Each structure stands twice: as C-alpha cells, then as structure tokens.
Amino acid sequence: MYYDVESKKSFEQAASDLDSAVKRHGFGVLHVHDIGNTLRSKGQTFTEECRVFEVCNPAQAAKVLAADMQLNMALPCRISVYTEKGKTRIGMIKPQDMLAMLSKDPVLDQVAREVEEKTTLMINEAR
C-alpha cells in the first residue's frame, strides 16, 4: 500500500531534489503543505519535519476524471518528505493500490500503473 524509502540526504536536500524530479517527469507541483511548520505555528510540539507535495500530471488527471468524476477526491497524488527519529524518508500511498480500492475500471488501473511508475522514479531519484 505504501512506497516509502529512507534517504541519506538532509530533509531540505531531499525536498528540493523531489521538487526537481517531479518536474523532470512531466508532473507539476500544485502545492507543498509544510505540516511541521503548520503544527508548530499552532502551538503544537512537533519535532519532526514533514512536507507533503501535491503533484499532478494533467493528462493523467483528465483521464481519471473522464472515467469517474468522483475520483477528484483522490487527486492529486501526494508524496511526502519527512523525518522520523533522525532519518529522512520519502514516501507515498501507491496510486494503483489506492485507485483499486475506489474503482475496478481497467482504464483507471492502467493510468494508476503509469502514474505509480513515474512517482516511484521521482522518489528514487530524490532519495
């Protein structure tokens, strides 16, 4: 269900490298949620770092929405760069597994497979 890897890079370097990898693979970064800073700004004690990148390939998203508009709730893909016990990690929920829970449409399975291949490459390049 998850694809999650450890990185030898710093949190900041891994986040920067993920941003570059996303763009190299024809996806865009729609937004980056800095969960760590948000929690701390709300007075919460949170010692880890966590940035969630919302990434999208417009052509693939259009295919998903054309098949089932309700799947807008599963878009965009999210890739996280975070720290855990002093280690930097990069991970995501696998698109193919997630979409399989929401739809049995073979067209969507193929789209999810293609997106998962690309997002896995992005993670591996950033690690």
Per-residue model confidence as pLDDT tens digits over 15-30:
999 999 999 999 999 9
> pLDDT (tens digit, 9 = 90+) per residue, 12-66?
999 999 999 999 999 999 999 999 999 999 999 999 999 999 999 999 999 999 9
This prediction has a pTM of 0.95
Task: Report pLDDT for 29.
Answer: 98
Residue 58 has what pLDDT?
Answer: 96
Summary mean pLDDT of the chain:
97
Q: Write out the CATH class of domain 2-126.
A: alpha beta
Nearest-angstrom CA–CA distance, 15 and 83: 11
pLDDT confidence of residue 6: 98
Q: Per-residue confidence at 118, pLDDT binned at 50, 70, 90? A: very high
How is the chain split into domains, by residue range?
A: 2-126
Q: What is the mean pLDDT of residues 100-117?
A: 95
**Rounded mean pLDDT of 77-88?**
97
pLDDT on residue 99:
93
